[in-house]
Chain A
Amino acid sequence: MKKSVIRLENVWKTYRMGHVEVNALQGLNLDIQEGEFVAIMGPSGSGKSTAVNMIGCLDVPTKGKIFLDSHDISKLGESELAQIRGRKIGFIFQQFNLVATLTAIENVMLPMIFQGIPEDARMKKAGELLNLVGLGDRMNHKPSELSGGQQQRVAIARSLANDPDVILADEPTGNLDSKTGANVLDFLEKLHHEENKTIIMVTHDQNLAKVAEHIEFLKDGKIIKSTRS
């Protein structure tokens, strides 16, 4: 039996909008196991983004528990969460979210700065990662000088900087044309197979979800269907 990496137990998230309370998540249960490729699917407004924020330790639930490596993180403070995010989880966003003022290699080094990794080691690792994503010749380019696909590859390299167990990709191909999107997807699959990373991908695209071995369907803040291949 595989170990569970992230487990959400009856997680509720309530937002207050003026006088109205909106339940973005309504008793979400989710169990993601080590080395799995999971796709989370659902229409917009289904609570996908909120779920990603919970899984990614960017936010804490209003009610319920979140276990990361069987430690409850739902009551942790901002700085502890940041520390965990930095070490355990690599983010890939739909908007790439690179720091515009930094070059590709500096962007990849940034997560390592926050973990206090010495400069030499940072440089070496960032260089290796950029080579891995095929951007060895674009290291000193700023995001504005790179194409969308290239930016997303830099973001993938950055997500791997601290060698996290989990890669959390939120609509990673949403801003890319289908060919570049397919490349990015191939790369995630490669990470999954070769590096044995746990990949969690949020998407609304049925075709993309096919590569996943475990698909969770989200609606109205709850899982309505779960398939494992």
Chain B
Amino acid sequence: MDVRLQISMVFHLDKCIGCHTCSIACKNVWTDRKGAEYMWWNNVETKPGTGYPTAWEDQSKYKGGWEQKNGKPELKMGSRSLRVLNLFHNPNMPRMDDYYEPWTYKYEDLFNSPEGADQPTARPISMVTNKPIDIKAGPNWDDDLSGSPVYAANDPNLEALTPEQREELFDIERLVFFYLPRICNHCLNACCVAACPSGAIYKRGEDGIVLINQERCRGWRMCVTACPYKKTFYNWSTGKSEKCILCFPRLETGEAPACFHSCVGRIRYLGGLLYDADRMLEALHVPDDQLVEAQRDLILDPSDPEVREAALRNGIDELTLEACERSPVYKYVKEWKLALPLHAEFRTLPMLFYVPPLLPVMAKTGDGVYDSSNEELFSPIEKARLPMEYLARLFSAGNVEPVRLALKKQYAIRLFKRMETVGDMDPAVVKQALAEVGCSEAEAEQIYRLTSLPTVDDRYVIPPMHREEAMQMLNDDVLADKGEAGFGFREAPARGA
């Protein structure tokens, strides 16, 4: 057993209100720079929708992720020798127009224009060429289903649905969407790491954060193609690739990453997961429909004495184990089986998990009348507005069962709390609903508490990062990096000639 620590995340989609505060927090801290204007290390997309970059899930176009070739995992973009040959021109690299051309406005025209019959306007100006442009796309062009026939209708995940189901999805009054906030998944089997010709991308052993060494990156840009989530970005100004760093300088000081910290809906949870690196390959060699279960199996119980002993042997300290025991991520992913990985079929073992959203039908229209009375509190999950096949395509590699369980459990807990607080539920029905998903009343209460009433300390259980030890390894002078975070001050990120 090779026990390792992974700082892991859960996003509770039922709570996401799509406000984009997380994206702005991240932008302000990390990507408000030349060459990075178009980057959104954290973005929020509307689903169904094509997302950012446009149709990123369509791997027939972008060639991201792994696939099984002769029983061995290989990058979908091809063999490693092909990658070296493609250094001159990467045939599957997304371009700026797949994201959008960043722009600002010529605000000074509002003040400097000569007096005339019309109001002066601030024209959009490209932040690449500094010339006026016609805006054709933005980071969130299909927010809230805007332009659905062009954008949402092209969502690759809709392939899982029948034509009738698809039509219903966009029927007015039945219209359904939810938000999908995305950051780097800090995968266990990361494609960006595997594809980097320079070996500049690596996983930190201590906490599993995936980073790009900016001093070793040579701009071969294979990671951009390889990442199926399109969460590595090429900085066109510095000629280096960049990605989400999970705000590791903040984690070191015990603070949650900026996007977590600023989350208005409090949908985000962060904590440690222990996993068995020895069994990773097993988890990669299963058929698609077993991927979610296989990944869950990798996660180890931090209160198991055997695991604890193996973890201590591996140099994981007591305080970290304690933090892992309180990890909200462990509870959502492993104990309660509520949180699922995004697109497990990419086979990267992503370590960001999502609680799928409940989208019950709360009302119907008949003869133009909006009727909110229902025979039951909610319509049953099977009749939810979003077909389960769609959610399964996103969160469990096409297997409906894990999604059904997650939804039914959430549903049962609502019934349970309704019974407790309002008292108009038949206890037998509630008992039946809980029993169906194998959830005790105590567990239901716990899930309710962590979902609805969590404090900051409940949501973010950050294991101690031991920067003091890390810096000792890098620097003989223990005081040299005092007052700094991360790697401290290094070379300025200036474009080479």
Whether both chains belong to one complex is answered with no
Interface of B toward A, CB cutoff 8 Å = none
Interface residues of A (CB under 8 A from B): none
